[in-house]
């Protein structure tokens, strides 16, 4: 469990229609890091995440998870350690009831019934969705589906948690439950998101994508302080930081105006 790093080396991916969505992406996430992947719509975040559990395989370059190269023949092994929550929960939920969906992974692992039950309870509890246990997934709201789809992955107790837009569609309490859960997750976690407040709160490191390329990789603080980078990549810092910098600028402008009027008096 202790070496679940994720390494991309010069990864290119071209969709069957010829669109090159990843253009030479390289990075390495070490065990236990919480890393955000940010970028505008269409930057290539989901495409990148789908490579971590081999749902997409690179056209060129390589992906290695915990020392195992992600290839067709290693997929069962890779998927034992990587839990991927899709951007669209409808891609994740397919059983008649929520509890069957959450139990699906542990059942496939051949775990005893009592352990499956423990995992279902724990995973649904962690996302605040225990009350939905008996419900049909296709009758749930968008946010409820999102929470349940995260539970289906948590029940597998993955060593690498990959989340595509974990807080989209969630109400404030459900969002807070997911943030709490990610904070307590002690293994590797990589998440694509537009929720910059969450990035600021949770992730020590941020990767920035633009048109299929990784254009920045650094501490979240350094990324959010780089106004030129944010502007170039169509991003905004979290509101708290934005306000701080604007208040500082406004204060600066007020001081300047005062000094100017004192001088001209």
Q: Which residues bind Mg ion (CB under 5 A)?
A: 45-46, 87
Provide, rounded to whole angstroms, the least separation between the CB of residue 153 and ligand ATP: 18
Helices (runs of H) and strands (runs of E) counted in the chain? 10, 10
CA distance 218 to 199: 13
Pick the closest to residue 154 from 204, 101, 222 (CA basis): 101
> In this complex, which beta carbon is closest to ligand ATP, that of residue 41 or of residue 184?
41
Task: Select from 21, 123, 216, 223 the one that contacts ligand ATP (CB under 6 A).
Answer: 21
Which helix (H) or strand (E) covers residue 29, if one does? strand 20-29
Two structure tokens written together for 183 = 């904070």
Provide, rounded to whole angstroms, the least separation between the CB of residue 13 and ligand ATP: 9
Beta bridge partners of 63: 8
Two structure tokens written together for 108 = 């496939």
Residues 58-87 close enough to bind ligand ATP by CB under 6 A:
87
Q: Residue 15's binding partner, choosing from ligand ATP, Mg ion, none, with beta-carbon cut-off 5 to 8 A by kind?
A: ligand ATP
Residues 145-204 close enough to bind ligand ATP by CB under 6 A:
none
CA distance 219 to 166: 21
- Name the one range near ligand ATP by CB under 6 A: 4-12, 39-47, 105-113, 220-228: 39-47
Provide, rounded to whole angstroms, the least separation between the CB of residue 221 and Mg ion: 25
> In this complex, which beta carbon is closest to ligand ATP, that of residue 122 or of residue 213?
213
Query: Is residue 43 a contact point for ligand ATP (CB under 6 A)?
Result: yes
CB-based burial of residue 239 (10 Å sphere; 0-12 exposed, 13-18 middle, 19+ buried)? exposed
Q: In which region does residue 24 sit, left (phi positive, over 0), alpha (psi from -120 to 50) or beta (all else)?
A: left
CA distance 240 to 192: 20
> In this complex, which beta carbon is closest to Mg ion, that of residue 101 or of residue 165?
165
- Name the one range near ligand ATP by CB under 6 A: 15-23, 66-74, 152-160, 242-250: 15-23
Q: How many CB atoms lie within 10 A of CB 250?
A: 10
Query: Is residue 19 a contact point for ligand ATP (CB under 6 A)?
Result: yes
> In this complex, which beta carbon is closest to ligand ATP, that of residue 45 or of residue 175?
45
Provide, rounded to whole angstroms, the least separation between the CB of residue 168 and Mg ion: 9
Provide, rounded to whole angstroms, the least separation between the CB of residue 38 and ligand ATP: 9
Residue 217, phi then psi, degrees to nearest 5 = -150, 110
Query: Using CB under 6 A as the criterion, which residues of the chain lie in contact with ligand ATP when the complex forms?
Result: 15, 17, 19, 21, 39, 41-47, 87
């Amino acid at each position: 469990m202790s070496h679940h790093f994720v390494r991309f080396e010069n990864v290119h991916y071209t969709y069957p229609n010829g669109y090159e969505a990843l253009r030479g992406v390289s990075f390495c996430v070490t065990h236990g890091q919480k890393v955000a992947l940010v970028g505008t719509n269409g930057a290539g975040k989901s495409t990148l995440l789908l490579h971590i559990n081999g749902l997409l395989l690179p056209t060129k370059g390589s992906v290695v998870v915990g020392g195992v190269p992600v290839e067709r023949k290693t997929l069962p092994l890779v998927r034992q350690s990587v839990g991927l929550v899709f951007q669209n929960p409808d891609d994740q939920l397919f059983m008649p009831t929520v509890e069957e969906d959450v139990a699906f992974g542990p059942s496939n692992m051949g775990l005893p019934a009592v352990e499956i039950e423990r995992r279902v309870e724990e995973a649904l509890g962690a996302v605040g969705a225990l009350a939905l246990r008996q419900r049909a997934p296709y009758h749930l709201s968008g946010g409820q589906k999102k929470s349940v789809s995260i539970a289906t992955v948590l029940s597998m107790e993955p060593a690498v948690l990959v989340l595509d837009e974990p807080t989209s569609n969630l109400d404030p309490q459900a969002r807070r439950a997911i943030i709490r859960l990610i904070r307590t997750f002690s293994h590797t976690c990589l998440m694509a998101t537009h929720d910059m407040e969450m990035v600021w709160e949770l992730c020590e490191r941020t990767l920035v994508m633009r048109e299929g390329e990784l254009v920045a990789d650094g501490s979240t603080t350094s990324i959010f302080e780089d106004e030129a980078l944010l502007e170039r990549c169509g991003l905004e810092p979290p509101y708290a930081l934005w306000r701080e910098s604007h208040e500082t600028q406004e204060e600066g402008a007020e001081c300047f105006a005062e000094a100017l009027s004192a001088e001209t008096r």
